[in-house]
Amino acid sequence: MANFSKLTARTDVKIALAASAALSAWYVRNSFKTKGKSSDGQLSTLSPEERIQYMIKEKNKKGPKAQVDARFFAELKALWKIMVPGLWTKEAGYMALIAFSLISRSMCDLWLIQHTTLIEGSIISMNKKEFVRLLTQFFTAMPLISLVNNILKWSIGEMKLNIRTNLTMHLYENYMK
C-alpha cells in the first residue's frame, strides 16, 4: 500500500491513470453499443465474411496515372513549338536569362555560405580588423545578390506571360475562326 500511495502522489501518474480509465470506459461503451447493430439501428444481416469483404474493398479508386512515353513526348514537342516558336525569339532569350540567373544565384549562394563561415571564424578568433573587412564585403555584395534574385523573378514572370500569350493566340487562330 505504501508503494501505491507514492505512485498516486505523482501528477503524471494520476493523469495517465485517468486517461487510461477514460479510454477503457469509452472502448467498453462503444463495443456494447455497436455489437450486432448496423448504422441504422437494425440488427446486422451480414455474415462475418461479408463484413470482412466490405472492409477490405477499396472505396476510392483513382483513374489512370500519367505515363511518360512516346505519346507524352510528342504532345510536349507540339506544345513546345507553340510556346517557343524559334531559337531567336524573346521566349528563348528569357529562357537563357533564366538559366544564367539560376547559375548566378547558385554561385551567390555558395559565396554567401563561404563568406558567413569566414565571418563566424573572425568572430571566434576575435580578429576585429578581419571581421570589419568581411562584414563590409558582405554588405557590399548584398545589392548584387538582390539584383540576381530580382532578375530571376522578373524573367520567370515574363516567360510565363509570353507562354500564356502564345498559347492563347494559337487557340484563337485555330479554334475561334
Banded pLDDT at 43 (limits 50, 70, 90): very low
User: Does the model's pTM come out above 0.85?
Assistant: no
Q: What is residue 27's predicted lDDT score, i.e. its pLDDT? A: 81
- Where do the structural domains in the chain lie, given as residue ranges? 84-175
Please give the helix or strand (H or E) that residue 18 lies within, else none.
helix 11-34
User: What residues contact residue 21 under an 8 Å CB cut-off, 6+ apart?
Assistant: none
Q: How many CA within 13 A on the CB side of residue 14? A: 6
Q: What is residue 142's predicted lDDT score, i.e. its pLDDT? A: 94
- The per-residue pLDDT of the chain, averaged, comes to 83
Average pLDDT over residues 112-116: 94
Q: Tens digit of pLDDT for each residue in 9-37? A: 677 777 888 888 888 888 888 777 665 55
Q: Tens digit of pLDDT for each residue in 103-112? A: 999 999 999 9
Separation between Cα atoms, residue 156 and residue 177, nearest integer Å: 31
The answer to whether 84 touches 92, Cβ cutoff 8 Å, is: yes
Neighbours of 76 (CB within 10 A): 11
Work out the end-to-end distance of the chain between its first and last CA atoms, rounded to an integer number of angstroms.
93
The C-alpha cell 512516346 sits at 70
175, pLDDT greater than 80: yes
Q: Which of 150, 163, 143, 161 is nearest to 98 (CA)?
A: 150
Q: What is residue 58's predicted lDDT score, i.e. its pLDDT? A: 60
